[in-house]
Amino acid sequence: MVAASWRTVGTVGTGLLLCSLAILPTAASPATDVLGSTGQGFLVSGMPSGDHSYTNGDIVFKAALVWGQVAHLSTDVRLPLDGHAKTLFTDSPLVRVALRNVPGLRNEAVVAYCSPREIEDSPAGTMMLGLLGKFMRSRSDQQYCLADADGDGRLDMGFELRGGSPSARVAQPIAPVAFDVRENMPVSGDNDRISIIYSGTKNGVFWFALDLRQKGKSTKFTTLSAGQYSATPINRVDARRGLPAQANIYGVPITIKAYDSATGAVTLDWRGAETGEFIPVATETAYRVRYY
């Protein structure tokens, strides 16, 4: 596997703003809409060249998760919201989020940079009900965002996107801070990755498992979807009409070239498979309850 590398896109100015911004009265402001975000994903790269053989249980593809596009601050930023100060640190990635109708900004749509949403367990380990449950969900949903209101290439407004009080969701002025936008920043080491594992064959059908690990734990899912791509935990490639057989498993092109019934080894042809495409993965399950 080739380790993902990041590159600086450039210092952001008016180019990423969809329209000009200014402070508005908040009484008539509609709720903020999230139009989209650029979060975690992986690059379709790092395959061996040519043919390569695998046996049952072998990892045939492995890629580190990377941040698709994030902002890094030139200095720490403190946001005084809801009676406490939230600090956004220089080494913390801020995800690019397209928003509309942010209270406190004169905009129809704007690009902001926000702390990622987190997956959190209930601290009591039980189903949370009523106001306490709503409070815990609010805490796990919270995202702290910064935006460039005057288009000078510095972030000068801060607000909460989810959770918090209504006043915390209104954009407030902050001391302007410079930033740069980076692509393909590794999320971590081996704790955040995606793998495709050869899982055997029967009656001309080949099986490949998809394992998504985030924060060191395999993510449970029924279907993983991103644009034109989708996959399940176990994916089949039908080769009953003969080999070679081609398939695409969550954006990764796979060509089964040969199968050795004596050894159980399958040969994959990786020629032309390394597209370098960025494939997003879901990272924003905001609340999870554990049962004991």
Q: What is the pLDDT of residues 99-154, one digit of tens each?
A: 988 999 876 788 999 998 764 444 444 344 444 444 444 444 578 999 999 889 99
Per mean pLDDT, which range of 138-152, 155-169, 249-263 is the poorest? 138-152
Is residue 283 very low, low, confident or very high in pLDDT (cuts 50, 70, 90)?
A: low
Nearest to 104 by CA among 53, 46, 157, 54: 157
Share of the chain above pLDDT 70, in %: 77
Per mean pLDDT, which range of 32-46, 124-138, 215-229, 248-262 is the poorest? 124-138
Higher pLDDT, 165 or 141: 165
DSSP assignment letter at 132: H
For the residues 176-181, what does the mean pLDDT come to?
96
Give, in order, the Cα–Cα distances in Å from 288 to each of 21, 123, 126: 36, 10, 10
Per mean pLDDT, which range of 49-53, 59-63, 103-107, 129-133 is the poorest? 129-133
Tell me the C-alpha distance between 275 and 113, whole Å. Answer: 28
Asked, as a colleague might, if the bond just before 30 is cis with ω within 30 of 0, I would say no
Arithmetic mean of pLDDT over the chain: 80
Higher pLDDT, 259 or 162: 259
For the residues 214-242, what does the mean pLDDT come to?
92
Cross-strand pairs, 179: 73
Tell me the C-alpha distance between 53 and 44, whole Å. Answer: 19
Rounded to 10 degrees, the C-alpha dihedral 173/175/176/181 comes to: -90
* Res 101: pLDDT: 87
For the residues 62-86, what does the mean pLDDT come to?
91
pLDDT at 166 over 70: yes
Tokens representing 8? 């600086």
Query: Which string of DSSP letters, residue by residue, matches 43-97?
Result: ES--PPSSEEEE-TT-EEEEEE-EEEEEEEESS-EEEEETTEEEEEPTTS-EEEE
Tell me the C-alpha distance between 17 and 147, whole Å. Answer: 9
pLDDT at 20 over 90: no
For the residues 190-196, what does the mean pLDDT come to?
93
* Res 18: pLDDT: 32
Amino acid residing at 39: G
* Res 25: pLDDT: 37
* Res 39: pLDDT: 82
Is 6 exposed, middle or buried (CB count within 10 Å of its CB: 0-12, 13-18, 19+)?
A: middle
Cross-strand pairs, 90: none
